[in-house]
């Protein structure tokens, strides 16, 4: 998937973002999400984090600067559409989280059983839940991009801080433009939300070396196969025992 | 009619089948979640309802596991030299020629099976309740998820061994879980120390 030619992505360029939050509004509008009542807690970042009715937010990240009195890095936060997606790995309900032809991780709320395992396996703490405890998150506007339109947030972005397109092309262009880091190029098999950074990812408040929790990897690689091999092995061993050695007979006990 | 002796009481038999029934359904639905077995889901009209069934079967299972303690726990905690010898001859399962030492009501394999089911059963139930009810806490969720699946592996290995030993491998044993009775002559050979203890030998 990571090198798949059809894979689409959103490229985020924080330095181009003016913090207008048009993307947040466009997302709500397209997905018909209600407003969230919040209170001022000393930052323009609002709502404070992703929520059942907020699939994307702009993080208002203020960082130290010697050149400017204020240096604000506005960073779009949303589902990363990981190639190796922890949420999909752990989900026990078939079809609740699924991969679209464009490489997005979309969801089907009718199939979700509301177990909330996915948020715990997500390296980025992304999935949220609606009033009926069904999973909700950014789905890369799979319904729009499937019809050759841009995601709502990208369509509305006035500055080009959000760009949508072929993943490989977006990365190629950003590299040519001389960005220091393309965050998400390799992580988790390659992310579907990638970031063009001029500085260290840490400065933008990004997780370095994101990974799926080790317990989930251990479970997926060892425990799942063991359950099948264990059951199958016992059934086979019982059959062999029955044929080769045979059941206890009463006369055996008389020795 | 040969003289019979009662090995299992009727409440023990009833509880065994509640325990066994819930356990096996939990295993089947558990496999369905693990490997997205849609045909199992459709038996329950979808995964949503199957999740509800799985949760409540867990409640039935742990209650009957606790109730089973009055039947087996005391026996399962007592071991003697004959039990050690039993392991040395692998319970007579690998050769019919070895001499199996005299046994009490349960052999040490059964006793350890019971303890394994109790330990894994409590672990799988607690972790199941963790996933079901403590969704807000990542550590609890991930730890529960891990413990639930480790215990699951113990179950899918131990339970089929038990079923084989309780049916095909030991003809006549299955009847104990039907009407609770064993022919006295058989019991004298298979469980001599128990028969002596109850004064019939
Ligand atoms: C359909 C499947 C099963 C069959 C045919 C079966 C059969 C039997 C039989 C015949 C006994 C009596 C053994 C004796 O008194 O010597 C027994 C005992 C017992 N069974 Fe099952 N069983 C089944 C499933 C289960 C399951 C799923 C569990 C556990 C969760 C279980 C737990 C026990 C326990 C704890 C005992 C007490 C004695 C011992 O440790 O062997 N059984 N079973
Ligand atoms: S960011 Fe989280 S929710 Fe999005 S695809 Fe990756 S693991 Fe899944
Ligand atoms: S909450 Fe829904 S989408 Fe998330 S793991 Fe559970 S069933 Fe899957
Ligand atoms: S619409 Fe574009 S410029 Fe406005 S906040 Fe969103 S990413 Fe930034």
Q: What is the per-residue DSSP string for chain A? A: -TT-TT-EEEEE-GGG-----HHHHHHHHHHTPPP------SSS--SSS-BTTBS-EEEEEEE--SSSS-EEEEEEE-----SS-HHHHH--STTTEEE-TTS-EEE-TTT-----HHHHH-TT---EE-TTS-EE---TTHHHHTTT---HHHHH-SSSSEEEEEHHHHHHHHHHTT-SEEETSSGGG--SEEEEESS-GGGGTPPSS----HHHHHIIIIIHHHHHHHHHHHHHHHHHHHHHT----GGGGG-
| Separation in Å, CA A244 to CA A247, A250, B86, B88, B125 | 10, 18, 21, 20, 38
Q: Of all atoms in ligand 1, which is nearest to the CA of residue B113? A: 40
State the pTM of this model: 0.92
Element at A166 (helix H, strand E): strand A162-166
Peptide bond into A47 cis (omega under 30): yes
pLDDT of residue A255 exceeding 50: no
Structural domain range at position B191:
4-197
Residue A76: phi and psi, rounded to 5, are -70, 125
Give dist(CA B143, CA B141) in Å, integer: 6
Q: What is the DSSP letter of B7?
A: -
Protein residue with its CA nearest to atom 2 in ligand 2: A122
The predicted-structure confidence for A34-71, as pLDDT tens digits, reads as follows 999 999 988 889 999 999 999 999 999 999 888 888 88
Contact B93 A245 (CB under 8 A): yes
Q: What is the DSSP letter of A111?
A: T
CB < 8 Å to B124, chain A: none
CA A85 / ligand 2 centre spacing (Å): 5
Q: Which residues contact B187 (CB under 8 A, 6 or more apart)?
A: B5, B7, B194, B195, B200
Question: Could you tell me the CATH number of the domain that includes residue B160?
Answer: 1.20.950.20
Q: Which residues contact B163 (CB under 8 A, 6 or more apart)?
A: none
The arithmetic mean of pLDDT across residues A235-250, rounded, is 92
SS3 A219: helix
Residue B103 has a pLDDT of: 95
CB < 8 Å to A224, chain B: 34-35, 149
Tell me if chain A has a CB within 8 Å of the CB of B186.
yes
List, chain by chain if needed, residues with CB within 6 Å of any ligand 1 atom: B 7, 16, 19-20, 23-24, 68, 72, 106, 110, 113-114, 117, 159, 162-163, 166-167, 173-174, 176-177
pLDDT of residue A228 exceeding 50: yes
CA A179 / ligand 4 centre spacing (Å): 19
Give dist(CA A226, CA A221) in Å, integer: 9
Please report the domains of chain A, with CATH numbers, ordered by start residue: 1-212 (3.30.70.20), 213-255 (no CATH)
| pLDDT tens by residue, chain B, 201 residues | 689 999 999 999 999 999 999 999 999 999 999 999 999 999 999 999 999 999 999 999 999 999 999 999 999 999 999 999 999 999 999 988 889 999 999 999 999 999 999 999 999 999 999 999 999 999 999 999 999 999 999 999 999 999 999 999 999 999 999 999 999 999 999 999 999 999 887
CB < 8 Å to B97, chain A: 255
Interface of A with B (CB under 8 A): 90, 92-94, 96, 111, 113-117, 119-121, 213, 215-216, 218-219, 223-224, 226-228, 230-231, 233-235, 238, 241-242, 245-250, 252-255
Confidence band of A254 (pLDDT split at 50, 70, 90): very low
Residue B113 has a pLDDT of: 98
List, chain by chain if needed, residues with CB within 6 Å of any ligand 3 atom: A 90-91, 93, 96-97, 107, 112-118, 127, 135
Residue A103 has a pLDDT of: 95
Residue A253 has a pLDDT of: 47
Across the interface, of B96, B145, B161, the residue whose CB is closest to A252 is B96
Q: Are A162 and A11 in contact (CB under 8 A)?
A: yes
Residue A203 has a pLDDT of: 94
Query: What number is the ipTM of this complex?
Result: 0.92
Residue A81 has a pLDDT of: 98
Residue A153 has a pLDDT of: 98
The arithmetic mean of pLDDT across residues A70-84, rounded, is 96
Q: Which residues are A194's β-sheet partners?
A: A11
The arithmetic mean of pLDDT across residues A162-178, rounded, is 96
CB < 8 Å to A219, chain B: 145-146, 149
Q: What domain count does chain B have?
A: 1
pLDDT of residue A22 exceeding 50: yes
Protein residue with its CA nearest to atom 2 in ligand 4: A157
Number of helices and strands (H, E) in chain B? 8, 2
The arithmetic mean of pLDDT across residues A197-218, rounded, is 96
Give dist(CA A127, CA B135) in Å, integer: 13
Across the interface, of A93, A227, A253, the residue whose CB is closest to B152 is A227
Residue A3 has a pLDDT of: 55
């Amino acid at each position: 998937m990571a090198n798949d030619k059809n894979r689409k992505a959103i490229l985020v360029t924080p330095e181009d973002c003016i913090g207008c939050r048009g993307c947040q509004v466009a997302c709500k509008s397209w997905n018909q999400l209600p407003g969230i009542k919040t209170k001022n807690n000393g930052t323009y970042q609002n709502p404070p984090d992703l929520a059942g009715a907020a699939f994307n937010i702009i993080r208002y990240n203020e960082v130290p600067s010697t050149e400017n009195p204020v240096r604000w890095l506005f960073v779009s936060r949303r589902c990363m559409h990981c190639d190796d997606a922890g949420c999909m790995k752990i989900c026990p309900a078939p079809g609740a989280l699924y991969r679209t032809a464009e490489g997005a991780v979309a969801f089907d709320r009718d199939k979700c059983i509301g177990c909330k395992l996915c948020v715990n396996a997500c390296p980025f703490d992304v999935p949220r839940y609606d009033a009926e405890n069904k999973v909700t998150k950014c789905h890369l506007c799979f319904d729009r991009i499937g019809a050759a339109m841009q995601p709502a947030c990208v369509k509305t972005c006035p500055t080009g801080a959000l760009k949508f397109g072929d993943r490989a092309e977006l990365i190629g262009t950003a590299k040519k433009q001389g960005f220091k880091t393309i965050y998400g190029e390799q992580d988790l098999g390659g992310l579907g939300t990638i970031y063009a950074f001029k500085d260290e990812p840490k400065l933008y408040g990004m997780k370095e070396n994101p990974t799926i929790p080790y317990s989930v990897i251990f479970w997926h690689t060892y425990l799942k196969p063991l359950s099948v091999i264990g059951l199958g092995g016992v059934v086979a061993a019982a059959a062999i025992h029955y044929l080769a050695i045979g059941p206890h007979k009463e006369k055996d006990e008389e020795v | 009619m040969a003289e019979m002796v009662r090995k299992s009481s009727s409440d023990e038999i009833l509880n065994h089948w509640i325990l066994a029934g819930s356990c096996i359904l939990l295993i089947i639905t558990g496999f369905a979640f693990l490997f997205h077995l849609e045909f199992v889901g459709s038996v329950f009209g979808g995964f949503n309802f199957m999740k509800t069934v799985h949760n409540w079967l867990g409640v039935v299972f742990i209650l009957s596991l606790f109730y089973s303690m009055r039947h087996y726990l005391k026996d399962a905690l007592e071991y003697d030299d004959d039990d050690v010898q039993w392991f040395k001859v692998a319970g007579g399962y690998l050769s019919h020629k070895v001499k199996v030492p005299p046994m009490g009501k349960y052999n040490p394999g059964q006793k350890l099976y019971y303890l394994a089911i109790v330990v894994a059963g409590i672990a799988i139930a607690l972790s199941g309740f963790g996933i079901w009810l403590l969704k807000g806490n990542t550590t609890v969720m991930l730890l529960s998820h891990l413990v639930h699946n480790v215990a699951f592996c113990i179950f899918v290995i131990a339970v089929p061994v038990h079923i084989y030993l309780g049916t095909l491998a030991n003809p006549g044993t299955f009847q104990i879980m039907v009407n609770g009775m064993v022919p006295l002559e058989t019991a004298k050979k298979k469980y001599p120390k128990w028969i002596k203890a109850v004064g019939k030998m």
